């Protein structure tokens, strides 16, 4: 299995407001050459948490075969959902949280679970805005996308708002 590092970040100008995600994929091939791919997208009205999730989703969906992934994010919402097994509880309770309320962003959580299914994924939290080069680049991609004039409509946000 190919080892791949995915770095992702989300941004929202207001919460809700215009938002974007930024993702960097990086791996070293068998000849020792580093490969890198950057992805981003912006939305007219969304939330920061939705963009944090979408950054991870897009990175996973970009992979063409099963990989061993370390996914780095400054979103405790994303990382803790897996590392603290929140997602397991949500699934057991039929997408309800511990307060028996519907889980927010369930559309994206489902998409994320489908995107990671073929892979071995380890989630690692990194402190945001602390000088980590890939996290800083993801933040730049996300904020640029949030400010771009050609933003998309986040249908999932609109349907769940």
Beta bridge partners of 125: 73
User: 9 a known binding residue?
Assistant: yes
The response to whether 107 counts as a known ligand-binding position is no
52 is in an annotated binding site: yes
- Closest among 9, 137, 21 to 79, alpha carbons compared: 9
Give catalytic residues, as residue numbers: 9-10, 52, 74, 129, 139
The bridge status of strand 120-125 relative to strand 67-73 is: parallel
Alpha helices in 6-160 (DSSP H): 48-61, 76-83, 86-92, 106-116, 133-147, 155-160
61 carries a ligand binding annotation: no
- The binding site for Mg(2+) consists of 9, 52, 74, 139
- The binding site consists of 9, 52, 74, 139
């Amino acid at each position: 299995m190919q080892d791949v590092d995915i770095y992702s970040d989300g941004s929202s100008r207001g919460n809700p407001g215009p938002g974007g995600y930024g993702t960097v994929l990086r791996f070293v091939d068998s000849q020792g050459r580093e490969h890198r791919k950057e992805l981003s997208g912006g939305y007219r009205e969304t939330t920061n948490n939705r963009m944090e999730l979408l950054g991870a989703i897009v990175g996973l969906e970009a992979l063409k075969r099963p990989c061993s992934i370390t996914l780095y994010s400054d979103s405790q919402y994303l990382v803790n959902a897996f590392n603290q097994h929140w997602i397991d509880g949500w699934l057991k309770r039929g997408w309800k949280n511990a307060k028996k309320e519907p889980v927010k962003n369930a559309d994206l959580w489902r998409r994320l679970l489908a995107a990671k299914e073929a892979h071995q994924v380890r989630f690692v939290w990194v402190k945001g805005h602390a000088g980590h080069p890939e996290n800083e680049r993801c933040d730049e991609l996300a904020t640029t996308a949030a400010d771009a004039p050609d933003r998309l409509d986040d249908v999932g946000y609109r349907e769940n708002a």
